[in-house]
Amino acid sequence: MITKYLFYFLSVLIIFSALMVVFSKNPVHSVLYLIVTFFGIAGHYFLLNAQFLAAVHIIVYAGAIMVLFLYVIMMLNLNKEVEPHKPIWIKFAAVIAGGLLMITLVGSLRGAEALAMKTPADQSIGLVENLGKTLFGQFLLPFEISSVLFLAAMVGAVMLGKKETH
């Protein structure tokens, strides 16, 4: 039953730090709380026996994306609390809209747990071997197309980031 307590601990950690991402005043603190959230989600992947995805998640999110965020915040010098705030009624409406969306999502996914009981649990689907067989067999074309997407993103980022000379 230790996985159950780990699940509760990680969930509370994730929800708390996700809320702190939204509500903390300093953007640098938001990024740091987002890193905590990502590590919590990687812990959930470990609990779900998806070890390869957990490693990739830490490498991609905590390693690459968060460094980009921190770098941009540093470059733009946004670490001051200079941000203007929305009026209070918009904040109130945002909270209500988020809560309603959550209720709708939970309600619409309520019947989904009946699906899960049909097949016996396979412990090894998250390992590199099985994932690689699926990725390079059934999903080979999307994999190659995603490399083209990366090329386009790289060229686009360089184009956008370049200073206009004329």
Q: How far is the CB of 80 from another protein (least distance, A)?
A: 11
CA pair distance 88, 92, nearest whole angstrom: 6
Residue at token pair 């609990």 = 47
* Contact mark string toward another protein, 131..160, x via CB under 8 A: x--xx--xx--xx--x--xx-xxx-xxx-x
Q: Which position among 9, 74, 105, 144 is part of the footprint of another protein (CB under 8 A)?
A: 105
The C-alpha torsion from 13 through 14 and 20 to 23, rounded to 10°, is: -140
Question: Which tokens hold the place of 33?
Answer: 């709380």
The C-alpha torsion from 103 through 6 and 38 to 49, rounded to 10°, is: -100
Q: How far is the CB of 41 from another protein (least distance, A)?
A: 5
Q: Within 24-84, where are the H helices?
A: 27-47, 51-57, 66-76
Quote the DSSP letter at residue 85: -
Q: Which position among 80, 88, 89, 106 is part of the footprint of another protein (CB under 8 A)?
A: 106
* Contact mark string toward another protein, 28..47, x via CB under 8 A: --xx--x--xx--x--xx-x
For residue 102, state whether it binds another protein (rule: CB under 8 A): yes
* Contact mark string toward another protein, 54..93, x via CB under 8 A: --xx--xx--xx--xx--xx-xx-x----xxxx---xx-x
For residue 128, state whether it binds another protein (rule: CB under 8 A): no
CA pair distance 96, 104, nearest whole angstrom: 12
* Those residues with Cβ within 8 angstroms of residue 41's Cβ, 6 or more apart along the chain or in another chain: 14, 57
Q: Which position among 117, 141, 144, 165 is part of the footprint of another protein (CB under 8 A)?
A: 117
For residue 166, state whether it binds another protein (rule: CB under 8 A): no
Q: How far is the CB of 91 from another protein (least distance, A)?
A: 6
